[in-house]
């Protein structure tokens, strides 16, 4: 038994702040606990004593005669700390603090919550809240409605965590209409102790909770969330509605990666890597929950559609294909059986059109026949009202067949009056029903998404042999000069030290060195300025490409120096980098941006000048596994270019994957790297390699100084 059992599976509850005053939280809580028939002992606590809801009230929790597992606290915030002290004296280990007035109210409330957390740790208590709606457990042996929503909970298989109390209450009130029920519900409020991760871990092996739903406004500990959610989501679906999508966490970033990143992209990456199915509306969250509540995980992605109307069948087919699932190939044996009872005008190809005159018996026989086909993994059954056929009768017939054959997901699409869905809410259903075919296809897609995640290998984080000491030396030199931004030359040197393929190059500081390098590398070459004061080279004409001879190289160098002198940019110029000219029309980008909460984010996608226009990029949280890196590469639209579209040489996908993994190792080793861009990562026409043509690295100066124990002579931080 864990301490959280004291909160979620209590044998006794003390309501501290219970009240006889109507329509107060203290009164409503007592009523809900009694109306829902809590199976344990219930003790109201109120300083005035007396009788509350027919029970003897105690003036203090210390007066309660028996043991208390859970204290639900609804006293004024200024009395909460002393109440916690009394709970400790009583030996209570589980508390749920409904009371508001903590960090959500400002500085004083935050200080009060800090003191609360200190007491909870000192006393070894677990706490839900403060500032929350409460907790629910619908198990018949417990029957605890420890919250003050208007409606009593509906029994189901969902574990639901809500960061918003009011939203949680609203959801509890409409569960019946949604045809859904909860096994357990936790309103986490300010998350002083119990949070979403606590609940995920608690429900991991709880057989009563078959799926986990989360409403989150923030993720307190992204690394821990990833660790727990990625493990638990292999056993049962986790669905999340994460709000706050519009907040841009990196709007002031100077790199491409940073400017394309943002708080929501970080959250999306984290949820994706954790196997969490993200929904963007409550409607979709509960539509998907309804599917998981009534459908098993399929064996594959082959979908059969049964309909009594051609149009909706075609629309359902389009939706299935758009999600990348397959239309099942109906076996000849199944077709023959279907023809034996369907009219000649019916189509036994997929979608199977029974035509408008299909009676209930045809629905039953067709579904039973199609479920038995080994080529079919999932089924959509569509009904439109024709010839007096009653929708609810058809639904009952389908559920009868589904009960006999529970092994495959079946979803009903009933394009009928809303009264039908109201009738369903009064019934014990065993399959989900929707109004439109697109909703059904979306549900099957979520089932398939969960199937693929559960089959996905764990992934490994490789460790490459790199020259870490060289990178330390390069960055130490930069920060000793007060520079957070590494020069182009330093950036390329860092990449090469970590085994990332870059162009052959050299640094030249005068015309003769320029020519010597050009001749040794071999033409054509590229010339790039590298400066301690100018990072965006193209803006000042600092990049010259396709230089084919010594004469052209001399002319370009002289012209560059003249232009920089004219613009007053010679100061800070380290020299020019002469690089091999890699031929390739496919330009990718990869990089690192740092989110203040989620940490380093890896980016990959279409690069060059299109990076911020096309925005065909994807993000993942570092560190990357080999599976994460490959997933990144395959998830961008430009992947088709890498495969070798229009006769181009296929890119070395494994080598690009390794580049991402080496970058992930770099930012794991040097956590103070703030931004990094390789743009472009040019795909060589000759070899298919991804070659770093340019690099930009920026560090967080103060953090880097502490990590490397390096001070600088030029910045105010070091005096």
Task: Copy the structure tokens of residue 194.
Answer: 């119990």
Whether 552 shows a pLDDT value over 60: the answer reads: yes
Whether 719 shows a pLDDT value over 90: the answer reads: no
Nearest in space to 209 (alpha carbons), one of 299, 297, 292? 292
Do residues 576 and 592 share a domain?
A: no
Do residues 84 and 204 share a domain?
A: yes
Residue the block writes with tokens 């052959």: 504
Do residues 496 and 413 share a domain?
A: no
Domain CATH code at residue 117:
3.40.50.720
Out of 455, 486, 511, pick the residue that ends a domain. Answer: 455
SS (H, E, C) 594-622: EECCCEEEEEEEECHHHHHHHCCEEEEEC
Whether 714 shows a pLDDT value over 50: the answer reads: no
Q: What is the mean pLDDT of residues 389-412?
A: 97
Do residues 398 and 492 share a domain?
A: no
| Inside any domain, residue 361 | yes
Q: What is the mean pLDDT of residues 232-243?
A: 96
Does 453 or 582 have the greater pLDDT score? 453
| Inside any domain, residue 79 | yes
CB-CB contact of 93 with 3 (8 Å): yes
The reported pLDDT for the residue numbered 718 is 43
The reported pLDDT for the residue numbered 168 is 87
Whether 252 shows a pLDDT value over 60: the answer reads: no
Mean pLDDT over all residues of the chain? 93
Exposed/middle/buried for residue 308 (C-beta within 10 Å: 0-12, 13-18, 19+): buried
Whether 302 shows a pLDDT value over 60: the answer reads: yes
d(C-alpha 671, C-alpha 677), whole Å: 16
| Inside any domain, residue 627 | yes
d(C-alpha 612, C-alpha 10), whole Å: 55
d(C-alpha 697, C-alpha 703), whole Å: 15
Q: Which of 15-24, 319-328, 496-505, 606-615 is predicted least confidently?
A: 606-615
Of the pLDDT bands very low, low, confident and very high (cuts 50, 70, 90), residue 251 is very low
Domain CATH code at residue 524:
3.30.1490.20
The reported pLDDT for the residue numbered 100 is 96
Do residues 57 and 169 share a domain?
A: yes
Give 109-164 pLDDT, tens digit per residue: 999 999 999 999 999 999 999 999 999 999 999 999 999 988 999 999 999 999 98
d(C-alpha 305, C-alpha 195), whole Å: 41
Of the pLDDT bands very low, low, confident and very high (cuts 50, 70, 90), residue 247 is very low
Does 80 or 389 have the greater pLDDT score? 80
Nearest in space to 447 (alpha carbons), one of 289, 605, 614, 677? 289
d(C-alpha 92, C-alpha 14), whole Å: 10
Length of the chain counted residue by residue:
719
Question: What ranges make up the beta strands (E) of 456-557?
Answer: 505-508, 525-531, 543-547
350 — phi, psi (to 5°)? -90, 120
Q: What is the mean pLDDT of residues 475-479?
A: 96
| Inside any domain, residue 93 | yes
CB-CB contact of 16 with 57 (8 Å): no
3-state secondary structure (DSSP) of residue 215: strand
**Other C-beta atoms lying within 10 Å of the C-beta of residue 477:** 13
CB-CB contact of 452 with 315 (8 Å): no
The reported pLDDT for the residue numbered 118 is 98
CB-CB contact of 460 with 657 (8 Å): no
Q: What is the mean pLDDT of residues 318-331?
A: 98
Q: What is the mean pLDDT of residues 354-359?
A: 96
d(C-alpha 189, C-alpha 128), whole Å: 8
Task: Copy the structure tokens of residue 694.
Answer: 């340019």
Do residues 342 and 442 share a domain?
A: yes
| Inside any domain, residue 519 | yes
Do residues 44 and 174 share a domain?
A: yes
Cα 415 to the chain's mean position, in Å? 33
The region, left, alpha or beta by phi > 0 then psi within -120 to 50, assigned to residue 456 is beta
CB-CB contact of 644 with 651 (8 Å): yes
Q: What angle do CA 692, 697, 699 make, to 5 degrees?
A: 155
d(C-alpha 370, C-alpha 392), whole Å: 21
Do residues 357 and 441 share a domain?
A: yes
Question: What ranges make up the beta strands (E) of 484-613?
Answer: 505-508, 525-531, 543-547, 573-580, 586-595, 599-606
Q: What is the mean pLDDT of residues 654-683?
A: 96
Of the pLDDT bands very low, low, confident and very high (cuts 50, 70, 90), residue 615 is confident
Identify the sign of the CA torsion 249, 253, 256, 257.
negative
d(C-alpha 435, C-alpha 420), whole Å: 10
Q: Which of 201-215, 291-305, 446-460, 601-615 is predicted least confidently?
A: 601-615
Do residues 131 and 23 share a domain?
A: yes
The reported pLDDT for the residue numbered 258 is 52
DSSP alpha helices (H): ranges in 36-179? 80-90, 107-123, 165-178
The reported pLDDT for the residue numbered 4 is 97
Do residues 313 and 371 share a domain?
A: yes
| Inside any domain, residue 494 | yes
The reported pLDDT for the residue numbered 138 is 98
Give 367-384 pLDDT, tens digit per residue: 999 999 999 999 999 999
Whether 262 shows a pLDDT value over 70: the answer reads: no
Out of 580, 602, 629, pick the residue that ends a domain. Answer: 580
Do residues 422 and 484 share a domain?
A: no
SS (H, E, C) 681-702: EEECCCCCCEEECCEEEEECHH
d(C-alpha 219, C-alpha 178), whole Å: 27
Of the pLDDT bands very low, low, confident and very high (cuts 50, 70, 90), residue 571 is confident
Cβ neighbours of residue 632 closer than 8 Å, sequence gap 6 or more: 602, 604, 618, 620, 624, 660
Whether 246 shows a pLDDT value over 60: the answer reads: no
The reported pLDDT for the residue numbered 259 is 55
Does 419 or 533 have the greater pLDDT score? 419
**Other C-beta atoms lying within 10 Å of the C-beta of residue 338:** 23
Q: Which of 316-325, 349-358, 466-475, 565-574 is predicted least confidently?
A: 565-574
Domain CATH code at residue 373:
3.40.50.261
What's the domain count of the chain?
A: 4
335 — phi, psi (to 5°)? -60, -45
Nearest in space to 40 (alpha carbons), one of 78, 76, 18, 8? 8
Task: Copy the structure tokens of residue 16.
Answer: 């501290």
Q: 235: which DSSP letter?
A: T
Out of 529, 546, 580, pick the residue that ends a domain. Answer: 580
Give the domain range for residue 432. Answer: 296-455
Half-sphere exposure of 122 (CA within 13 A, CB side): 12
The reported pLDDT for the residue numbered 1 is 72
| Inside any domain, residue 599 | yes
d(C-alpha 34, C-alpha 145), whole Å: 8
CB-CB contact of 676 with 695 (8 Å): yes
CB-CB contact of 288 with 277 (8 Å): yes
Nearest in space to 493 (alpha carbons), one of 480, 478, 482, 479? 478
Task: Copy the structure tokens of residue 568.
Answer: 């007053």
Q: What is the mean pLDDT of residues 267-279?
A: 96
Task: Copy the structure tokens of residue 333.
Answer: 């044996």
| Inside any domain, residue 380 | yes
Whether 255 shows a pLDDT value over 60: the answer reads: no
Identify the sign of the CA torsion 110, 116, 117, 119.
positive
Do residues 196 and 341 share a domain?
A: no
CB-CB contact of 42 with 13 (8 Å): yes
Domain CATH code at residue 664:
3.30.470.20
Cβ neighbours of residue 111 closer than 8 Å, sequence gap 6 or more: none
């Amino acid at each position: 038994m864990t301490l959280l059992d004291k909160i979620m599976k209590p044998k006794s509850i003390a309501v501290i702040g219970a009240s006889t005053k109507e329509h107060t939280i203290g009164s409503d809580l007592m009523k809900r606990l009694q109306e829902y028939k809590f199976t344990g002992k219930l003790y109201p606590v109120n300083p005035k004593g007396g009788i509350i809801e027919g029970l003897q009230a105690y003036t203090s929790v210390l007066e309660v005669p028996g043991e208390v597992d859970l204290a639900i606290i609804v006293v004024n915030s200024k009395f909460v700390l002393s109440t916690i002290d009394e709970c400790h004296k009583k030996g209570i280990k589980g508390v749920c603090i409904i009371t508001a007035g903590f960090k959500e109210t400002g500085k004083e409330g935050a200080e009060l919550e800090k003191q609360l957390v200190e007491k909870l740790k000192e006393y070894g208590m677990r706490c839900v809240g403060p500032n929350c709606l409460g907790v629910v457990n619908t198990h018949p042996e417990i029957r605890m409605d420890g919250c003050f929503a208007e409606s009593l909970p509906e029994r189901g298989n969902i574990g639901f965590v809500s960061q918003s109390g009011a939203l949680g209450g609203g959801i509890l009130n409409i569960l019946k209409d949604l045809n859904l029920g909860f096994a357990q519900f936790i309103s986490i409020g300010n998350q002083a102790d119990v949070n979403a991760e606590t609940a995920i871990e608690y429900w991991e092996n709880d057989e009563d909770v078959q799926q986990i739903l989360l409403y989150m406004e923030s993720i307190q500990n992204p690394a821990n969330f990833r660790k727990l959610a990625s493990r638990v989501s292999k056993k049962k679906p986790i669905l999340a509605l994460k709000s706050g999508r519009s907040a841009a966490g990196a709007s002031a970033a100077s790199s491409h990666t940073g400017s394309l990143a943002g708080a929501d992209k970080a959250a999306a990456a984290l949820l994706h890597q954790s196997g969490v199915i993200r929904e963007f509306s409550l409607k979709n969250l509960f539509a998907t929950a309804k599917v998981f509540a009534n459908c098993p995980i399929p064996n594959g992605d082959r979908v059969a559609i049964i309909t009594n109307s051609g149009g909706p069948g075609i629309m359902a087919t389009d939706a299935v294909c758009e999600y990348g699932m397959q239309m099942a190939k109906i076996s000849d044996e199944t077709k023959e059986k279907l023809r034996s009872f369907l009219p000649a005008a019916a189509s036994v190809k997929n979608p199977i059109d029974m035509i408008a005159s299909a009676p209930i018996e045809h629905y039953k026989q067709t579904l039973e026949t199609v479920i038995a086909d080994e080529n079919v993994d999932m089924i959509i059954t569509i009904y439109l009202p024709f010839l007096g056929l009653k929708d609810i009768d058809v639904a009952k017939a389908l559920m009868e067949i589904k009960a006999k054959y529970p092994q495959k997901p079946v979803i009903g699409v009933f394009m009928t009056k809303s009264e039908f869905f109201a009738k369903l809410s009064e019934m014990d259903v065993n399959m989900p029903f929707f109004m439109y075919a697109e909703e059904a296809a979306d549900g099957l897609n979520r089932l398939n998404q969960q199937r693929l995640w559960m089959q996905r290998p764990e992934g490994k984080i490789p460790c490459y042999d790199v020259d870490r000491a060289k990178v330390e030396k390069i960055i130490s030199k930069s920060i000793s000069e007060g520079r957070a931004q590494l020069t182009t030359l330093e950036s390329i040197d860092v990449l090469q030290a970590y085994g990332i393929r870059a162009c052959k190059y050299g640094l030249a500081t005068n015309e003769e060195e320029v020519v010597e390098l050009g001749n040794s590398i071999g033409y054509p070459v590229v010339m790039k300025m590298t400066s301690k004061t100018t990072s965006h080279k193209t803006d000042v004409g600092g990049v010259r490409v396709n230089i084919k001879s010594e004469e052209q190289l001399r002319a370009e160098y002289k012209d560059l120096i003249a232009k920089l002198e004219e613009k007053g940019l010679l100061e800070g110029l380290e020299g020019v980098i002469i690089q091999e000219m890699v031929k390739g029309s496919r330009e990718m980008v990869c990089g690192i941006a740092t989110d203040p909460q989620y940490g380093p984010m890896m980016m990959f996608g279409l690069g060059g000048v299109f990076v911020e226009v096309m925005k065909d990029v994807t993000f993942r949280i570092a560190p990357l596994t080999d599976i994460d890196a490959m997933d990144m590469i395959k998830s961008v639209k430009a992947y088709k270019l890498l495969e070798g579209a229009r006769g181009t040489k296929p890119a070395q996908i494994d080598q690009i994957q390794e580049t991402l993994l080496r970058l992930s190792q770099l930012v794991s080793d040097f956590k103070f790297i703030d931004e990094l861009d390789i743009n472009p990562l040019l795909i060589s026409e000759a070899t298919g390699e991804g070659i770093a043509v340019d690099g930009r690295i920026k560090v967080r100066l103060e953090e880097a100084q502490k990590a490397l124990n390096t001070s600088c002579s030029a910045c105010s931080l070091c005096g």
